[in-house]
Amino acid sequence: MIELKSSEQIELMARAGAVLARLYEVLPGEVRPGRTTEDLDRFAEDFIRDHAGATPAFKGLYGFPATLCTSVNEEVVHGIPSTQRVLREGDVLSVDCGVKLDGYFADAAITVPVGEISTGARRLLEVTDAALARGIEAAVPGARLGDIGAAIQEGARDEGYGVVRDLVGHGIGREPHEEPQVPNWGRRGRGLKLSAGLVLAIEPMFNLGTASIRTLADEWTVVTADGSISAHFEHTVAITEDGPRILTTVPGNATAAVA
């Protein structure tokens, strides 16, 4: 069942989203060679809990043990923070995080460079982030889910990147994952008709190589099958009569959440 949100509910989700956006304003400054993914996880958990009522939404969700998913290089999503995972110059780090506040969830992801990264890696990050922006632009009342997916997919196709198809975006609200599924591919004019009040987590995952992925023996970490690096960007977006509204942003600072 798809639950459309009232403007009051969307405001509550924006409060959760603002906590996440503020985290993403400062977290990239904590990412540098020599730090562990566990260091970042502790930083993020403390940051979120410093906001009254806010809790890390992923910790304990389906049994996930941490505040952040930290996925390095060929890891696509759901990497588990670890004291053993030391970041190195040239790595790319995807961070995915959820915040729950006053009963509502927000979900967002960024991929950040560790020190200097290769030109090819930097391009992958830029193109994936830009594809998210185009997907968000397509999220308007009367459009279709396929319009979002097509807009995202076109960005990858021009570069020859693999678009991960086995993982998708999703509705979000009082639950971290709600209907509908939001694929990162599609055909314009196809799929569910978008209505004001629909709130979606839109989250392209692009691989430098093929689209194929597999899950490691820890049963969480998803990696590219060919070992190529991967990028992931995500926002929680409300479809309103005035167009798409990014909820995972700092109020009055609309561009801040896009790293």
- State the residues that interact with Mg ion by CB under 5 A: 96, 107, 109, 201, 234
Q: Which is nearer to Mg ion, 33 or 60 (CB)?
A: 60
Q: CA end-to-end span of the chain, whole Å?
A: 33
Nearest distance from residue 177's CB to Mg ion, in Å? 7
CB of 38 to Mg ion, least distance (A): 19
Nearest distance in Å: CB 109, Mg ion: 5
In the complex, the smallest distance separating the C-beta of residue 100 from Mg ion, rounded to whole angstroms, is 13
Identify which of residues 38 and 107 has a Cβ nearer to Mg ion in the complex.
107
CB nearer to Mg ion: pick between 96 and 178 = 96
Residue 10 or 109: which CB sits closer to Mg ion?
109
For residue 58, the minimal CB distance to Mg ion (Å) is 8
How many other CB atoms are there within 10 angstroms of residue 121's CB atom? 19
Our CB check for Mg ion shows the closer of 158 and 166 to be 166
Q: Smaller CB distance to Mg ion: residue 178 or 234?
A: 234
CB of 41 to Mg ion, least distance (A): 15
